[in-house]
């Protein structure tokens, strides 16, 4: 995934595993599972395990590899474990806000890992504070943990407390929860964020994406359905549906950019969807050229689709430096300016004297795209035709994806032709919303397309209130 300022920033990844068998090391598999979800968040990582008495937790700022491996693998043991990788949208980038969040309450211990964003977290937080609650963090997960603790009563299972919490919260959430040795998965009623179930030995896995189930040697069973609570304990797996099916609204950006191409989400292969979108893009915006190239890595699959449909050969035109971390290129303006060159270098042999179609997954601000077009031209490209596998990003996201304010979204403020001029491309084409939906849909699946259309699957704060979702 090419990570820079001209992309929507990814969200978080959650993982969980519960096994009875001592042959399966749940902590180790969570550690591996988080590696497979690393693309979903690189600001912090954490693992929590129930050791038979208490919940132990190890968290770090940075990558999964920054976790204290010796402590995690040698000292943490138990048959139920959850993990989290984070990119902060709500709540500042600070170890205090790293997850899983662990609390003690009257019925025991809870650890919670959350992917998504609540649209009413501030209101709920105020109400809870008015009632005497004290918060240690600024993340939505603590609001949910507080509600679960408040609703939990003796003789009533944690399931009921979670159901009541789901009635109060609004927004996007895929959760893995550990309530002592119970592993629980929860997906919001519109299924905005993904969550799936796998089987391993005598146990079960929960994961944001199926690629992590593959990585730990598990077998993919199914997706958690929108509005479903899955409880895994020593009786096996139980499912509770909190309400009748409502139209699902999975974030369509999962297929465009966020998810790994080797994942399947809600029955649709991310690879197939991305390739079909590239093919559709070729139908909607054909152009004569010598070679189709991708902005690596997230544009690659769509570029393969574009090439197949257009019968123009696919080739590598940009080589990505895979050893530049996410937090690089912050220190000063000079380094910022060099960021694109440090991350990408044109393959002169493939681009010199050629008419190039460059496929990218999205354009958010336009600044990076312009630099890449410039790099290709300075490497001798005769023409650069930019093709974008998402529609114009015109509106912010309220469901866990870090979007700039509208004034910084190039798609909200300029026409396609103005953008073409700004990025100095010879032509520019975006896939249409209809084209994207048709290339992604299979069995009547519904999607959120809010950042393209401004139509969201639920009421959201007005633009002026978007600060509520900015980092605090």
Catalytic residue positions, numbered? 12
Residue 217 tokens read as 């040697």
Which member of 2, 255, 314, 399 binds ligand SF4 (CB under 6 A)?
Answer: 399
68-103 burial code (b ≥16 CB/10 A, e <16): eeeebeeebbbbbbbbbbbbbbbbeebeebbbbbbb
Q: Specify whether the CB–CB gap between 217 and 201 falls below 8 A.
A: no
**Cβ neighbour number for residue 303 with a 10 Å cutoff:** 30
CA torsion through residues 281, 283, 287, 293, sign: positive
Instruction: Write down the least CB distance from residue 109 to ligand SF4, Å.
Output: 32
Instruction: Compute how many residues bind ligand SF4; rule: CB under 6 A.
Output: 11
- Told to check if 397 binds ligand SF4 by CB under 6 A, we report yes
- Told to check if 388 binds ligand SF4 by CB under 6 A, we report no
Phi, psi of 10, deg, nearest 5: -70, -170
Measured between alpha carbons, how far is 258 from 369 in angstroms, rounded to an integer? 18
The residue (of 203 and 450) whose beta carbon lies closer to ligand SF4 is: 450
Instruction: Write down the least CB distance from residue 456 to ligand SF4, Å.
Output: 6
Determine the interface stretch with ligand SF4 among 42-50, 147-155, 397-405, 429-437 (rule: CB under 6 A).
Answer: 397-405
Q: What is the largest CA-CA distance in the chain?
A: 75
Secondary structure of residue 39 in the 3-state scheme = helix
Instruction: Write down the least CB distance from residue 256 to ligand SF4, Å.
Output: 9
Instruction: Write down the least CB distance from residue 448 to ligand SF4, Å.
Output: 3
Say if strands 427-430 and 383-388 run parallel, antiparallel, or are unpaired: parallel
Residue 428 tokens read as 């520019």
Residue 321 tokens read as 């430096």
Residue 223 tokens read as 């997706």
Q: Specify whether the CB–CB gap between 293 and 359 falls below 8 A.
A: yes
Determine the interface stretch with ligand SF4 among 213-221, 248-256, 288-296, 305-313 (rule: CB under 6 A).
Answer: 248-256
Q: Specify whether the CB–CB gap between 12 and 114 falls below 8 A.
A: yes
The residue (of 81 and 397) whose beta carbon lies closer to ligand SF4 is: 397
Determine the interface stretch with ligand SF4 among 46-54, 273-281, 287-295, 394-402 (rule: CB under 6 A).
Answer: 394-402
The residue (of 306 and 399) whose beta carbon lies closer to ligand SF4 is: 399
Secondary structure of residue 81 in the 3-state scheme = strand
The residue (of 233 and 254) whose beta carbon lies closer to ligand SF4 is: 254
Pick from 387, 393, 396, 321: nearest CA to 358: 387
The residue (of 43 and 402) whose beta carbon lies closer to ligand SF4 is: 402
- Told to check if 31 binds ligand SF4 by CB under 6 A, we report no
Q: Which ranges of 205-259 would DSSP assign to H, the alpha helix?
A: 210-215, 253
Q: What is the DSSP string of 56-79?
A: EEEEEES-GGGS-HHIIIII---S
Determine the interface stretch with ligand SF4 among 247-255, 273-281, 290-298, 426-434 (rule: CB under 6 A).
Answer: 247-255
Site string for ligand SF4, 175-214 (x = CB under 6 A): -----------------x----------------------
Residues from 400 through 459 that contact ligand SF4 (CB under 6 A): 401, 448-451
The residue (of 63 and 401) whose beta carbon lies closer to ligand SF4 is: 401
Instruction: Write down the least CB distance from residue 15 to ligand SF4, Å.
Output: 21
The residue (of 13 and 33) whose beta carbon lies closer to ligand SF4 is: 13
Site string for ligand SF4, 252-271 (x = CB under 6 A): xx------------------
The residue (of 271 and 452) whose beta carbon lies closer to ligand SF4 is: 452
Burial of 444 (0-12, 13-18, 19+ CB in 10 A): exposed
Instruction: Write down the least CB distance from residue 252 to ligand SF4, Å.
Output: 5
Measured between alpha carbons, how far is 179 from 184 in angstroms, rounded to an integer? 8
Instruction: Write down the least CB distance from residue 155 to ligand SF4, Å.
Output: 38
- CB within 8 Å of 46: residues ≥ 6 apart: 57, 58, 59, 60, 67, 83, 84, 86, 98, 99, 100, 113
Residues from 48 through 87 that contact ligand SF4 (CB under 6 A): none
Instruction: Write down the least CB distance from residue 393 to ligand SF4, Å.
Output: 8
Cis check for the bond before 297: say yes or no (omega within 30 of 0): yes
- CB within 8 Å of 77: residues ≥ 6 apart: 27, 49, 51
Site string for ligand SF4, 139-178 (x = CB under 6 A): ----------------------------------------
Q: By the criterion CB under 6 A, which residues form the site for ligand SF4?
A: 192, 251-253, 397, 399, 401, 448-451
């Amino acid at each position: 995934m090419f990570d820079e300022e001209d992309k929507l920033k990814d969200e978080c990844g959650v993982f969980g595993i519960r096994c009875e068998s001592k042959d399966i090391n749940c902590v180790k598999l969570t550690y591996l599972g988080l590696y497979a979800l690393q693309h979903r968040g690189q600001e912090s990582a954490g693992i929590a395990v129930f050791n038979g008495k208490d919940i132990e937790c190890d968290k770090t700022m940075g990558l999964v590899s920054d976790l204290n491996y010796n402590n995690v693998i040698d000292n943490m043991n138990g048959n139920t474990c959850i993990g989290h990788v984070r990119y902060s949208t709500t709540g500042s980038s600070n170890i205090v806000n790293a997850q899983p969040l662990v609390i003690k309450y009257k019925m025991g211990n809870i650890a919670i890992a959350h992917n998504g964003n609540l649209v009413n977290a501030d209101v709920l937080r105020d109400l809870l504070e008015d009632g005497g609650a004290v918060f240690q963090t600024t993340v939505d997960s603590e609001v949910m943990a507080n509600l679960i603790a408040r609703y939990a009563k003796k003789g009533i299972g944690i399931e009921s407390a979670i159901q009541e919490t789901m009635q109060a919260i609004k927004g996007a959430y895929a959760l893995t929860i550990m309530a002592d040795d119970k592993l629980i998965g929860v997906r919001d009623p519109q299924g905005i964020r993904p969550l799936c179930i796998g089987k391993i030995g005598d146990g079960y896995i929960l994961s944001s994406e199926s690629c992590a189930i593959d990585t730990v040697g598990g077998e993919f069973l199914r997706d958690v359905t929108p509005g479903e609570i899955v409880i895994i304990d020593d009786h096996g797996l139980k499912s509770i549906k909190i309400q009748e099916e409502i139209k699902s609204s999975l974030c369509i950006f999962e297929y465009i950019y966020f998810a790994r191409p080797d994942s399947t989400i809600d029955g649709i292969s991310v690879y197939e969807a991305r390739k079909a979108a590239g093919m559709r893009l070729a139908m909607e915006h054909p152009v004569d050229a010598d070679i189709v190239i991708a902005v690596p890595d997230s544009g690659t699959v769509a570029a393969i689709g574009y090439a197949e449909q257009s019968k123009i050969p696919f080739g590598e035109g940009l080589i990505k430096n895979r050893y530049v971390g996410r937090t690089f290129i912050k220190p000063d303006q000079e380094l910022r300016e060099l960021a694109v060159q440090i991350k990408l270098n044109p393959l002169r042999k493939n681009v010199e004297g050629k008419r190039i179609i460059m496929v990218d997954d999205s354009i958010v601000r336009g600044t990076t795209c312009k630099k890449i077009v410039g790099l290709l031209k300075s490497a001798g490209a005769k023409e650069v035709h930019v093709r974008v596998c998402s529609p114009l990003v015109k509106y912010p996201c309220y469901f866990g994806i870090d979007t700039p304010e509208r004034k910084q979204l190039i798609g909200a403020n300029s026409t396609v032709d103005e953008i073409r001029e700004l990025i100095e491309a010879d032509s520019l084409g975006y896939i249409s919303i209809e084209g994207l939906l048709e290339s992604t849909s299979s069995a009547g699946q519904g999607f959120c397309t809010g950042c393209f259309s401004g139509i969201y699957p639920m009421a959201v704060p007005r633009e002026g209130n978007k600060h509520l979702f900015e980092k605090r």
